[in-house]
């Protein structure tokens, strides 16, 4: 039951993100750009939208007034706000060395403060319930990186390896913060993995095959 609820939450998160983009879309020429993802600060002060094929993130106030466009280090996939650190984490991909990873954006000023880089293809991200850890999917290695985000610069503390995954995509955490759910997309339908975060060595367990495609 908990697993099915989490899958619904993943889908709900995507729909909310798309809804935020729709609210902001009047600033764009319809048909020119493709909505990718949206998020907002927890206090609702600012909304951020990722619109492809640009490598920018667009910042709006709570009344959907455009504030600024922020140039990122690469093509964005997802953004996650952490009000505790006044930061917005954006997973970005770039073929240029040192330009793929997590862009760090000040979520009140919209200033790009740097990048936590790794040679991979960053995809989905999620914050732990206590805002202490950021989990980042790397589709190039099919690993999930666990970063400590209790300070301004995320610090890698753990790598969770998926030995039989083909294309990890999105990640979610359950309500008690003890379990990760990670989707693995492929042409035949994909899978969902469960990861027990309380284990000394978190090991992914495939929950289902052909259950879900891309979310």
What average pLDDT is seen over the chain? 85
CA distance 94 to 207: 32
Per-residue pLDDT tens over the stretch 32-63: 667 678 899 999 999 999 887 789 999 999 99
pLDDT at position 6 is 52
Helix (H, G, I), strand (E, B) or coil at 180: strand
Q: Is residue 192 included in any domain, yes or no? A: no
Task: Please name every residue paired with 135 in a beta bridge, in sequence order, or none if there are none.
Answer: 126, 146
pLDDT at position 22 is 44
Share of the chain above pLDDT 90, in %: 69
If one counts the domains in the chain, the total is 1
Q: Is residue 45 included in any domain, yes or no? A: yes
Q: Which of 10-14, 59-63, 173-177, 203-207 has the lowest mean pLDDT?
A: 10-14
pTM: 0.83
Per the structure, the complete domain to which residue 119 belongs is given by 2-171
pLDDT at position 207 is 84
- Within 10 A of 158 (CB to CB), how many other CB atoms are there? 14
Per-residue pLDDT tens over the stretch 109-162: 999 999 999 989 999 999 999 999 999 999 999 999 999 999 989 999 999 999
pLDDT at position 189 is 73
What CATH code is carried by the domain that includes residue 75? 2.130.10.10
Q: Is residue 129 included in any domain, yes or no? A: yes
Q: Is residue 177 included in any domain, yes or no? A: no
Contact 131, 146 (CB under 8 A): no
- Average pLDDT in the 99-113 region? 96
């Amino acid at each position: 039951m908990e697993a099915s609820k989490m899958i619904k939450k993943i889908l709900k998160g995507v729909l909310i993100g798309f809804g935020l983009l729709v609210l902001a879309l009047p600033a764009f020429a319809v048909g020119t750009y493709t909505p990718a993802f949206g998020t907002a600060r927890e206090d609702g002060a600012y909304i951020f939208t990722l619109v492809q094929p640009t490598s920018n993130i667009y910042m709006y106030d709570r009344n959907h007034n455009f504030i600024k466009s922020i140039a990122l280090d690469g093509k964005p996939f997802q953004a996650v706000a952490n009000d505790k650190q006044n930061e917005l984490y954006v997973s970005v991909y770039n073929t240029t060395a040192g330009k793929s990873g997590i862009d760090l954006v000040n979520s009140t000023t919209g200033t790009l403060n740097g990048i936590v880089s790794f040679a991979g293809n960053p995809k989905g991200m999620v914050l732990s319930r206590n805002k202490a850890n950021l989990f980042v999917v790397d589709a190039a290695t099919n690993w999930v990186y666990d970063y400590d985000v209790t300070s301004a610069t995320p610090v890698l503390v753990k790598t969770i390896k998926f030995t039989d995954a083909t294309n990890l995509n999105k990640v979610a955490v359950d309500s008690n913060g003890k379990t990760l759910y990670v989707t693995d997309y492929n042409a035949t339908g994909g899978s969902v993995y469960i990861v027990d975060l309380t284990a000394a060595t978190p090991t992914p367990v495939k929950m289902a095959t052909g259950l879900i495609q891309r979310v």
